[in-house]
């Protein structure tokens, strides 16, 4: 697992410090240089333009203003990751200042030496679902014993959810057949290549429904933190007002995406190439399904991160060997930058 993540990141961080003394001169204490306030910031969106990022499109369209104090002269740029780009590569290299990623991905990446910190919740609900053909004898996670399960690969949220769900059901990897299918969920399930697939509530489930293939959807209810807005601790501490500014803009965009589907689709058309016809029809279905994930268990849009949930996630990830024993989840998130 660690090797795979390191390969994903594709980054080696190293630093060398050299000191020299002349004669018997006493060393002089140098003042700590002040980090200048940034005047621009870049938010990394982790795959191609998609309606699932609508709150950020709305926020940028509105100049990242909302029901909060606007910061003048700060330009926010959205950047979509390219094919094959590591999830945190650009952030670690300084090409991005924020990234949208799973809390579980953030926690695991921290164990590889990147000082990431989640600063706001984006999805209040975990989106991973197990999908089986309608009429299947698989009605729960425990029923997966002896069956084949397809997922993109042994990485990311699909993989974490599968490992933890199996463990909580008293199963191991040896009790099932795990098949890496890439992103061919529909083909793999509809042609019987696998008995179940691991996908997302706001994409894969909808793809089966719109294709007219009846499925049963199982929520594994794993104790994992879903999609967050994250940055590095160094950036957050140097630019707390900008962090709060971006969070508040995102939150305002989330509310708008929930309240105004058609207005959101209109704005999204400026960001998503070839956004017309069937693409718009699909987005009209995906948007409400995604908006349903924005709200927390209390039904509110709240960027606040739940400390207890992070603790439970760390325990679950440790139990299946995703992170080392003793990993401190409290260092992986902060609510200090929420404006309201």
Give the pLDDT confidence of 61-114 residue by residue, as tens digits: 987 765 444 555 678 999 999 777 889 999 999 999 999 999 999 999 999 999
Residues 236 and 115 in one domain: yes
Reduced to 3 states (helix: H, G, I; strand: E, B; else coil), residue 190 is helix
Which residues, 6+ apart, have CB-to-CB distance to 147 below 8 Å? 138, 176, 177, 195, 196
Give the pLDDT confidence of 117-145 residue by residue, as tens digits: 999 999 999 999 999 999 999 999 999 99
More confident residue, 220 or 27: 220
* DSSP per residue, 4-17: HHHHHHT-------
Instruction: Give the pLDDT of residue 73.
Output: 61
More confident residue, 255 or 5: 255
Distance, in Å, from the CA atom of 36 to the CA atom of 247, rounded to the nearest integer, reads: 21
144, 110, 150: which is closest to 333 by C-alpha? 110
Residues 212 and 67 in one domain: no
* Cβ atoms < 10 Å from Cβ of 72: 5
pTM: 0.84
Q: Is the pLDDT of residue 57 over 90?
A: yes
Residues 136 and 280 in one domain: no
| Residue written as token pair 């060997």 | 321
Does some domain include residue 249?
A: yes
Give the pLDDT confidence of 150-191 residue by residue, as tens digits: 999 999 999 999 999 999 999 999 999 999 999 999 999 999
The domain boundary, picked from 218, 253, 280, lies at 218
Q: Is the pLDDT of residue 23 over 50?
A: no
Q: What is the mean pLDDT of residues 263-271?
A: 95
Instruction: Give the pLDDT of residue 82.
Output: 78
Q: Is the pLDDT of residue 9 over 70?
A: no
Domain total of the chain: 2
162, 168, 174, 177 alpha-carbon torsion, rounded to 10°? -40
Strand partners, 79: 44
Pairing, β 148-151 against β 177-180: parallel
Residues 121 and 229 in one domain: yes
Sign of dihedral through CA atoms 102, 105, 111, 112?
negative
Instruction: Give the pLDDT of residue 72.
Output: 57
Residues 120 and 240 in one domain: yes
Distance, in Å, from the CA atom of 214 to the CA atom of 210, rounded to the nearest integer, reads: 10
Instruction: Give the pLDDT of residue 239.
Output: 93
Pairing, β 196-200 against β 128-133: antiparallel
| CATH number of the domain that residue 67 is part of | 3.40.190.10
Reduced to 3 states (helix: H, G, I; strand: E, B; else coil), residue 315 is helix
Residues 101 and 150 in one domain: no
Does some domain include residue 101?
A: yes
Residues 96 and 151 in one domain: no
Instruction: Give the pLDDT of residue 112.
Output: 92
Sign of dihedral through CA atoms 155, 158, 161, 162?
negative
Which helix (DSSP H) or strand (DSSP E) does residue 57 occupy? helix 54-61
Question: What residue numbers bound the domain in which 183 lies?
Answer: 128-218
Instruction: State the DSSP code for 26.
Output: P
Instruction: State the DSSP code for 25.
Output: P
Distance, in Å, from the CA atom of 4 to the CA atom of 96, rounded to the nearest integer, reads: 22
The edge-to-edge listing of strands for the beta sheet with 196-200 is: 177-180, 148-151, 196-200, 128-133, 215-218
Does some domain include residue 5?
A: no
Q: What is the mean pLDDT of residues 4-20?
A: 31
Does some domain include residue 4?
A: no
Distance, in Å, from the CA atom of 112 to the CA atom of 107, rounded to the nearest integer, reads: 9
Instruction: Give the pLDDT of residue 62.
Output: 85
Instruction: Give the pLDDT of residue 37.
Output: 59
Distance, in Å, from the CA atom of 215 to the CA atom of 199, rounded to the nearest integer, reads: 12
Which helix (DSSP H) or strand (DSSP E) does residue 75 occupy? strand 75-80
* DSSP per residue, 201-262: TTTHHHHHHHTT--EEEE--------EEEEEEHHHHHH-HHHHHHHHHHHHHHHHHHHH-HH
């Amino acid at each position: 697992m660690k090797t795979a993540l390191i390969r994903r990141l594709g980054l080696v961080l190293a630093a060398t410090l050299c000191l020299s003394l002349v004669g018997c001169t006493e060393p002089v204490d140098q003042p700590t240089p002040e980090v200048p306030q940034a005047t621009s910031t870049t938010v990394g969106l982790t795959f191609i333009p998609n309606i699932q990022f609508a709150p950020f499109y709305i926020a940028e369209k509105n100049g990242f203003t909302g029901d909060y104090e606007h910061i003048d002269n700060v330009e926010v740029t959205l950047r979509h990751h390219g094919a094959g780009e590591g999830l945190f590569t650009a952030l670690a290299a300084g090409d991005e200042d924020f990234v949208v990623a799973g809390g579980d991905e953030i926690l695991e990446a921290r164990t590889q030496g990147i000082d990431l910190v989640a600063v706001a919740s984006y999805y209040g609900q975990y989106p991973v679902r197990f999908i089986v053909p309608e009429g299947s004898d698989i009605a729960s996670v425990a029923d997966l014993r002896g069956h084949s399960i397809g997922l993109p690969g042994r990485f990311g949220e699909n993989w974490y959810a599968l490992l933890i769900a199996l463990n909580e059901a008293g199963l191991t990897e040896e009790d099932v057949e795990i098949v890496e299918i890439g992103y061919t969920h529909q083909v793999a399930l509809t042609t019987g290549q696998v008995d179940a697939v691991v996908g997302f509530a706001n994409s894969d489930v909808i793809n089966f429904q719109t294709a007219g293939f009846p499925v049963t959807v199982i929520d594994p209810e794993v104790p994992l933190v879903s999609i967050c807005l994250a940055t590095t601790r160094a950036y957050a501490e140097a630019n707390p007002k900008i962090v709060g500014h971006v969070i508040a803009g995102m939150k305002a965009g989330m509310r708008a995406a929930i309240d105004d589907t058609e207005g959101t689709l209109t704005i999204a058309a400026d960001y998503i190439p070839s956004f017309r016809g069937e693409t718009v029809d699909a987005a009209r279905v995906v948007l409400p399904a995604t908006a349903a994930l924005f709200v927390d268990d209390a039904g509110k849009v709240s960027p606040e991160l739940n400390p207890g949930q992070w603790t439970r996630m760390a325990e679950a990830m440790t139990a299946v060997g995703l992170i080392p024993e003793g990993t401190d989840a409290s260092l992986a998130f902060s609510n200090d930058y929420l404006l309201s």
